[in-house]
Amino acid sequence: MDRLVNTVRPYAWGSMTAIPELLGIAPSGEPQAEMWMGAHPGAPSRTERGSLNELIDADPVRELGQRSVDKFGPRLPFLLKVLAAGAPLSLQVHPDLAQARAGHAAEEAAGVPVDAPHRTYKDANHKPELICALTPFDGLCGFRAPVEAADLIAALGVDSLKPYVDLLHAHPEEAALREVLTALLTADPDEMAHTVAEATAAADRLGGAHAPYASLAHHYPSDPGVIAAMLLNRVRLQPGEALYLGAGVPHAYLDGLGVEIMANSDNVLRCGLTPKHIDVPELLRVVRFEPVDPTVLRPEASPAGEEVYDTPIDEFRLSRFVRAEGAAPTDLTGPTPQILLAVAGRPTAGEVALAPGESVFVPAGERAELSGTGTVFRATVVA
């Protein structure tokens, strides 16, 4: 197996301290948002044999196994991350596979450069994802019932928001949500800035359930995403709990440290809380305008001590091992590629001792035994 050297991305919303504390190093003085583990071309992990994407390109069957190559092609199907949100991420949604393929093909045919600010589809893949909390973790996920959103917005007492409140009481619910989000994203910017300022003052005064949205507004003043965020469910995860995000579900991470795994894609359509491009027509085509009750996932333990987070897709499978002192070694040898990430203690993968934040890549079929004490996340595929 290969010890990984991973890149930390310094996005502006990242925490200054969370990832350094996990790694046991001094903060760098800049935000440290995501540590990437995998073979994504944007920041592939490095090994003593070369970068992980180069190793896979040279011999995909040896590194990934025949099953994975047959099902997903000659690339690692997932990207594993440690995500540290010190400020809210953009309100966003991801396409399904058919939408990603069609959108990518259309932009390629139109000659839109892949690094253009207005480019929507960076690749032809979908991006389902799972976030598992390492600390208390705060986020927004899926539309709340429109009448609940109406009550939350109405309590602000802002006259210019009353038309949105009225729309949210209309039926069917899906049409009401679509109309309100469309109106927010296409409103006159100056008028919306004034509305958001009034809403922020009211949310500051009210506190309680309105406090998160006041915080959003202080990070993104005048952004219509502040009001759009009130349409979504607030979700708070405790360590070990997780949230699965499928295609079309609007979401945003607000604060906390977690392990994130996703299909290997960069496709993001933004809805707000960002200075970046928002493709409103495409966004409205991709978003699923249906109220949902977000399901908080808790791992299901197996007799072997593996705790699995159950998700409905095959590109990734995330589990963890919480190993106590004196526990017998666990054989993790399997026919698919794996990344093992330590987050606590001093476990050993094969002959590689792992400190918190360290990881290894295990090629398909290579013997892998987990021993020692600590907590280890295991990322692989279902093939």
For 274, other C-beta atoms within 10 Å of its C-beta total 19
370 SS3 class: strand
Buried b vs exposed e over 327-361: b needs ≥16 C-beta within 10 Å?
eeebebebebbbbbbbbbbebbbbebebebbbbbb
CA distances from 13 to 81, 85, 152, 220, 356 (A): 15, 6, 26, 11, 23
Report how far residue 306's alpha carbon sits from residue 200's, in angstroms, rounded to the nearest whole number: 45
For 61, other C-beta atoms within 10 Å of its C-beta total 15
- Identify residue 89 by its one-letter amino acid code: L
Contacts with 159 (C-beta within 8 Å, 6 or more apart), sequence order = none
Catalytic residue, from 75, 270, 320, 378: name it.
Answer: 270
Closest Cα partner for 382 from 229, 275, 267, 261?
261
Q: Is 205 exposed, middle or buried (0-12, 13-18, 19+ CB in 10 A)?
A: exposed
Give 256-317 as a DSSP string: EEEEEEEES----EEEESSSS---HHHHHHH----B--PPEE-PEE-TTS-EEE--S-SS-E
109 SS3 class: helix
Question: Is 270 among the catalytic positions?
Answer: yes
Report how far residue 157's alpha carbon sits from residue 149's, in angstroms, rounded to the nearest whole number: 14
Report how far residue 359's alpha carbon sits from residue 1's, in angstroms, rounded to the nearest whole number: 10
Closest Cα partner for 5 from 21, 27, 23?
23
Catalytic center residues: 270
